[in-house]
Structure 1
Amino acid sequence: MEKCTDKAIMSSSTITVPKRKFGWTGVEVPVVGQGTWMIEGNTAPVASRRHAVEALRLGLDLGLTHIDTAEMYGNGRVEEIVAEAVAGRREQVFLVSKVLPSNASYEGTIAACRRSLKRLRTEWLDLYLLHWPSGYYPIKETMRAMEKLADDGLIRFIGVSNFDVAQLEEAQQALSKYRIACNQVPYNLSDRQVELDLLPYCADRHIAVVGYSPFGHGYYFPSPGSRQGQLLADIGRRHGRTPRQVVLNYLIRHPETFTIPKARRPEHVIENSRGAGWSLTEKDIAAIDRAFPL
């Protein structure tokens, strides 16, 4: 993410990140949240941890209260970072974590959730996801454990990640008394495949779609000199926004979608927070559709 220098864009005094209902749950969740994959960094561990905590706390101050993490991230270290960031503010946060497929047996799912709760220093998760589908354990076994966790009040809602429509249907059929609340999937301008069938399917059933890697891990974000990059810049100038803010706004244009960009630096957190609270025009959306076809 390029450095953001515009004073109006950097100012956080008037930022309010809007919320919308998280699928059928009725819970109001910010449309832009905070992802934490690799937020711990890989150099100067103490400094990296401090910067990550500071970034997450700033995000909370700006209304980015949907925080997504996973037991896989940093082998649990990221959950500990999140715990430090939300200390004293847990009630404000919509907190999400994930179980690895290799841990997703009935007993393994319950044990993994309890480990995550301990690292996160909380008594419950708002949402718990199976990180991706696999053949390690039958989905019925994992979902039975999810229902047990919900019955015991350790999680509020059950979800999945990286599931296609058929896998999502199988997961829902494996549940006896709860509904899938969320499917977390990659969603960015270079990967809009969810719009073909998954997003319509989830919209019909009021399942929230949370898009991760909204900037394509940075590798696939259009360069400023490219035709696509110039388009995003032009649209951004008309709205007083940066290209990345334009992208975030585009990705949350559907009423079922949320996005969880990652940020390690304060200016990037602020930039992300201003990706919402305003609207692209129909002309803007049509131009982006043409420039980044399915």
Structure 2
Amino acid sequence: MAHRFTPRRALGGTGFLATALGAGDLADRSVPKERCVETLRRALDAGLNVVDTAPMYEDGYSEEIVGEALRGRRAGVFLVDKIDHLDRPVAPQLTESLRRLGLGSVDLLVLHSCSEPEAWRRAKAPGGAMAELAEEVARGRARFRGISSHHPDVLADALASGQCDVVMFPVGPYCHPRYVDEILPAAKARGVGTICFKTFGAGKLVGDTEGYGRPLAQRPRGKVSSGGDDAPAPTLPRLSVEECLRYTLTLDPDVALLGLSFPNEQDAAFAAAEAFRPMSGGELAATRGRAAEAIRGKGEVWWDPNDGS
């Protein structure tokens, strides 16, 4: 497969030149591990050089897949891993992650889903989890530190604290406007890298799901036929992969992190990235409007703050 995704862009002040797309969690225990490994390697063969994982993704299965996929080809790949339990010591959690990965270090170590202001207050305090991340950087088991978050207030304070090299947060057609209007420019102004997720709204924008392939708890039925049988449920409003990715790339985070779990998903995303042209302001607004229709009735939008901010 020919290498794509050039030119690359600086990932904040890390010195790493990243591809516009990154490969996120692709673990699925219903799929043989070797096939998952091959899928990730396929993305690497296409030129992607940012890979994200976490212990909680299929209970460590994702880390095992990533570690195997990177065996013999670790150089030139920016590897992101996470600390899932913010109330537990960092070092033992990272030790277990590195064991599953079969590696001695990761590039970026982040606090996973640090989305409650109180959790962030504890993490940033002297001796808190961010200080523990700094210790891991000093030990050489990570090169950079940061957080992933679903709350603009937390992200704004994290940027102001100067404790993050990279922040991870939602950017896509259905995301709270503060992520784009406030957090993205603030990160760029401070030289902090941005790795953004939820381009497809956890799949809700491109399919009939409550997120990540889960079936809808309730969905509309078709009209009753003359024979009394229900017609197939109608397809709900949705956006295309190209529309969603074009939207996110127009907003220009350093990296748009996608699932890319199957070859057909990769091909659709790669084609959309290669055909990219920025949206106008009117196109962005129209896409947001269609996204609001596409996500209606598909369950909780957990990546937006629920406190009225």
- When normalised by structure 1's length, the TM-score is 0.77
Give the match's secondary structure for 1:196.
helix
User: Residues 219 and 247 of structure 1: is their aligned pair in 2 closer, same or farther, counting only changes over 3 Å?
Assistant: closer
**99, 103, 110: which one aligns with 2:83:** 99
Q: Is the contact between residue 28 and residue 58 of structure 2 (CA under 8 Å) also seen in structure 1?
A: no
- Who is 2:55 aligned against? 71
CA separation of 1:48 and 1:289: change in aligned 2, threshold 3 A:
farther
* Matching residue of 2:154: 167
- 1:113 equivalent in structure 2: 94
1:183 and 1:97 mapped to 2: Cα distance? 13
Structure 1 counterpart of 2:267: 270
Structure 1: state its 5+ residue gaps. Answer: 1-11, 230-242
CA distance in structure 1 between the aligned counterparts of 2:32 and 2:72, rounded to whole angstroms: 21
Tell me how far apart the structure 2 counterparts of residues 259 and 189 of structure 1 sit (CA, whole Å): 13
Change (3 A) 1:157 1:163: farther
Structure 1 residue 109: Cα displacement: 0.6
Offset of residue 196 of structure 1: 2.7
Cα deviation for residue 169 of structure 1 reads 5.0
Task: Render the CA deviation track for 1:45-93: whole Å, top value 9, x for unaligned.
Answer: xx43222111100000001121000111111111011111111001121
1:211 pairs with 2:200: no
CA distance in 1, matches of 2:205, 2:237: 14
Once residues 173 and 14 of structure 1 are traced to their aligned partners in structure 2, the CA distance between those partners, rounded to angstroms, is: 37
Provide, for residues 3-44 of structure 1, a one-character-per-residue CA deviation record: whole Å limited to 9, x for no partner: xxxxxxxxx5463454210012231011101011xx33243x
Distance 1:51 1:201 in 2: 40
Deviations 1:189-234 (A, max 9, x none): 12253113222221221222222131112223378x88874xxxxx
- Asked if 1:143 corresponds to 2:130, the answer is yes
Q: Deviations over 1:121-161 (max 9, x none)?
A: 11111101100224568212101101101111111111100
Q: Does 1:258 pair with 2:245?
A: no
Asked if the contact 1:182/1:208 (under 8 Å) is kept, the reply is yes
Bigger helix fraction: 1
Letter of the structure 1 residue corresponding to residue 286 of structure 2: R
Q: Report if the CA contact (8 A) 2:83-2:109 is conserved.
A: yes
What residue is the counterpart of 1:289 in the other structure? 285
User: Which has the bigger relative contact order, CA under 8 A and spacing at least 6?
Assistant: 1
Q: Alignment length, in residue pairs?
A: 258
Alignment CA distance shift 1:163-1:201 (3 Å): farther
Give 1:31's match in structure 2, choosing from 20, 28, 34: 20
Q: Among residues 129, 140, 144, which one is paired with 1:153 in the alignment? A: 140
TM-score in terms of structure 2 length: 0.74
Q: Deviations over 1:240-289 (max 9, x none)?
A: xxx31342232122344421111222122232233334542454x53232
Mapped partners of 1:187, 1:287: distance in 2: 16
Equivalent in the alignment of 1:195: 180
Are 2:110 and 2:147, in contact at CA under 8 Å, matched by a contact in 1?
yes
Cα distance in 2 for residues equivalent to 1:245 and 1:22: 23
Aligned counterparts of 1:42 and 1:189: Cα–Cα separation in 2? 30
8 Å Cα contact 2:3/2:45 also seen in 1 = no
Q: CA separation in 2, counterparts of 1:245 and 1:132?
A: 27
Q: Distance in 1 between matches of 2:86 and 2:72?
A: 30
1:170 deviation in Å? Answer: 4.3
1:19 is aligned to 8
Identity of aligned residues (%): 24
1:244 to 2:241 alignment: yes
1:48 matches 2:32? yes
Which position in structure 1 is the counterpart of 2:111?
130
Contact 1:187/1:212 (CA < 8 Å) preserved in 2? yes
Which of structures 1 and 2 has the bigger CA Rg? 2
Letter in 2 for 1:208: G
